C-alpha cells in the first residue's frame, strides 16, 4: 500500500469553512516527503472536494462511499488505521469531537481513529459560542485525558460568521510543525509538567530611536525550541526579540528589545523554570550614550563609545538550582568546539550547542541548522544538517536523557 520508509500521515477533514486551509496542509506535507492519505466526512465535501485533496496528496481521497463498498481486501478503516504514523483531524468540528469523546464510530473517519493506535492531533475550528459551550469544552477536556490525543489551541480573530473571538483553526504551518514533532516523538510527552524558559532572536542596542547595533539572528531556532517543548508537553515561556513569525499558540511570549530588557525578563521567569535554553543572540556591547531624538547624519559620531552589556547566561549559571537544567548556544566560525567547551565550563552550564554560522544552510536566518552538543558529563552529540525543529527535538532527546 505504501513505501514503509516514508512517514505516513492520515488527514481527516471535518465539515467547516476552515476545511479550505487543509489544502495547503496536505500540499505542504506531500512536498516535504510525507506520504499522505485523506478522509473527508460527508459534511466536509460541502466545503472542499475529494478531487482537490486527491490531486494534492497524489492519492485518492476517501469518503464514506468507500467505507461501505467491499472493494478492499481488508476493511478500509482497519487498513488505514494500521497504516498511519500520525492522524490529524482538521478542522475538528463539535460533532466529530463529541463522537470521539464517547467512542462513537458511525463513519469512515471515526472508525479509522478507533482502529488505530498512533497519535492523533486535533485542530478544532468553530464559531466562538459553539467552542465555548460547556458541553463542547467538557468533551474536549474528556478527550484530552486520553494520552493518544494531542490538542491544538484555537486562534482568536475574525471568524467566517463575522464574530471576533476564539475558534479559528490554527494556521497550516503551525499544524505542520506539530505533525512533524509527533512523527519524531511518536506522541511521547517527556516534558509534561515541566516549565521551559527559552530566549530567542537577536537583541538591538540603540544609540538613537532608529539606529542600533544588532546581529542577523531571526529567532527561528528559538521558535523551533518553543514548538518542540510545547509539543512534548511542557509549559513554555519565550522571551523573544523582534521577529517576523507569530508566537506559537499556547506559548507565553515576553517581547523585549535590548539586552537589559532580556536580562530583566529572564531573571524574572528563571526561578520557576525547570529547563532554560538561552538561544538568543545577545549583544556583547552597547552604545554608551543614547539620543532620544534621531541624530542628523552630520551629527553621527566618528567614534562610537561602547560599554559591555550584562552577561545574562553567566548570571543564570550563578543562580541555577540543582533541579534546573541550563543550556546555552554558541554561534561560531572555524573551530566551534573549543570556545563552546570554554563557555560550558565558565558559565556553569549543563550543556551547550555549538553551531557553525559559516556553513551553508546553517545558523542565522536559515530554516536548517547543524551543531555539536556538549554537556558537563563530557558527552557529545553531532547533529547533522536538518530542520531547526528536528534539531530542537534532538537536543531535548540528548539533555533529557539521564536527567
Concatenating the DSSP letter of every residue in 131-192 gives: HT-HHHHHHHHHHHTSTTEEEPPPEEEE-TTS-EEEEEPPPHHHHHHHHHHHHHHTT--TTT
- The rounded distance, in Å, linking the Cα atoms of 277 and 380 is 17
Strands 155-158 and 120-124: unpaired
Residues whose CB is less than 8 angstroms from the CB of residue 34 and which lie 6 or more positions away in sequence, other chains included: 6, 7, 8, 9, 179, 183
Main-chain dihedrals φ then ψ at residue 205, nearest 5 degrees: -115, 100
In angstroms, the CA 370 to CA 359 distance is: 9
Kindly name the residue from 23, 161, 241, 386 that is annotated as catalytic.
161
* Residue of 93, 41, 92, 49 whose CA lies nearest to 67: 41
Q: What angle do CA 332, 334, 339 make, to 5 degrees?
A: 55
Non-local CB neighbours of 53 within 8 Å, separated by 6+ positions: 11, 13, 22, 23, 26, 38, 40, 61
| Gyration radius from the chain CA atoms | 24
Contact (Cβ atoms closer than 8 angstroms) between residue 227 and residue 184? no
Residue 386 annotated in active site: no
Distance CA 187, CA 150 (A): 8
Residues designated as active site: 161
Amino acid at each position: 500500500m505504501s513505501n514503509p520508509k516514508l512517514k505516513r500521515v492520515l488527514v481527516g477533514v471535518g465539515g467547516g469553512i476552515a476545511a479550505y486551509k487543509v489544502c495547503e496542509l496536505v500540499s505542504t506535507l506531500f512536498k516535504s516527503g510525507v506520504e499522505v492519505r485523506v478522509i473527508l466526512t460527508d459534511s466536509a465535501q460541502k466545503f472542499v472536494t475529494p478531487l482537490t485533496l486527491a490531486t494534492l496528496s497524489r492519492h485518492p481521497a476517501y469518503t464514506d462511499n468507500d467505507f461501505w463498498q467491499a472493494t478492499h481486501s481488508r476493511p478500509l478503516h482497519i487498513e488505514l488505521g494500521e497504516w498511519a504514523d500520525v492522524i490529524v483531524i482538521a478542522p475538528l468540528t463539535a460533532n466529530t469531537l463529541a463522537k470521539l469523546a464517547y467512542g462513537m464510530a458511525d463513519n469512515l473517519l471515526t472508525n479509522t481513529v478507533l482502529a488505530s493506535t498512533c497519535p492523533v492531533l486535533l485542530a478544532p475550528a468553530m464559531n466562538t459560542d459553539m467552542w465555548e459551550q460547556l458541553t463542547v469544552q467538557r468533551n474536549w477536556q474528556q478527550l484530552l485525558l486520553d494520552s493518544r490525543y494531542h490538542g491544538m489551541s484555537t486562534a482568536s480573530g475574525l471568524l467566517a460568521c463575522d464574530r471576533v473571538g476564539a475558534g479559528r483553526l490554527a494556521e497550516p504551518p503551525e499544524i505542520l510543525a506539530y505533525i512533524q514533532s509527533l512523527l519524531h516523538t511518536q506522541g511521547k510527552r517527556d516534558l509534561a509538567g515541566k516549565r521551559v524558559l527559552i530566549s530567542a532572536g537577536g537583541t538591538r542596542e540603540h544609540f538613537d530611536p532608529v539606529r542600533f547595533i544588532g546581529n542577523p539572528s531571526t529567532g527561528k531556532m528559538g521558535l523551533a525550541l518553543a514548538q518542540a517543548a510545547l509539543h512534548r508537553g511542557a509549559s513554555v515561556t519565550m522571551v523573544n526579540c523582534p521577529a517576523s513569525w507569530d508566537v506559537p499558540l499556547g506559548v507565553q511570549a515576553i517581547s523585549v528589545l535590548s539586552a537589559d530588557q532580556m536580562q530583566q525578563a529572564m531573571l524574572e521567569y528563571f526561578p520557576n523554570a525547570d529547563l532554560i535554553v538561552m538561544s538568543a543572540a545577545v549583544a556583547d556591547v552597547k552604545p554608551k550614550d543614547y539620543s532620544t531624538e534621531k541624530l542628523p547624519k552630520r551629527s553621527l559620531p566618528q567614534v562610537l563609545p561602547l560599554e559591555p552589556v550584562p552577561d545574562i547566561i553567566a548570571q543564570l549559571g550563578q543562580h541555577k538550582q540543582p533541579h534546573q537544567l541550563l543550556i546555552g548556544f554558541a554561534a561560531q566560525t572555524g573551530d566551534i568546539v573549543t570556545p563552546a567547551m570554554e563557555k560550558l565550563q565558565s558559565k556553569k552550564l549543563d550543556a551547550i550547542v555549538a553551531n557553525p554560522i559559516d556553513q551553508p544552510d546553517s545558523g542565522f536566518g536559515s530554516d536548517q541548522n547543524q551543531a555539536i552538543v556538549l554537556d558537563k558529563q563530557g558527552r557529545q552529540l553531532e547533529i547533522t544538517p536538518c530542520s531547526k525543529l528536528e534539531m530542537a527535538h534532538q537536543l531535548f532527546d540528548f539533555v533529557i536523557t539521564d536527567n
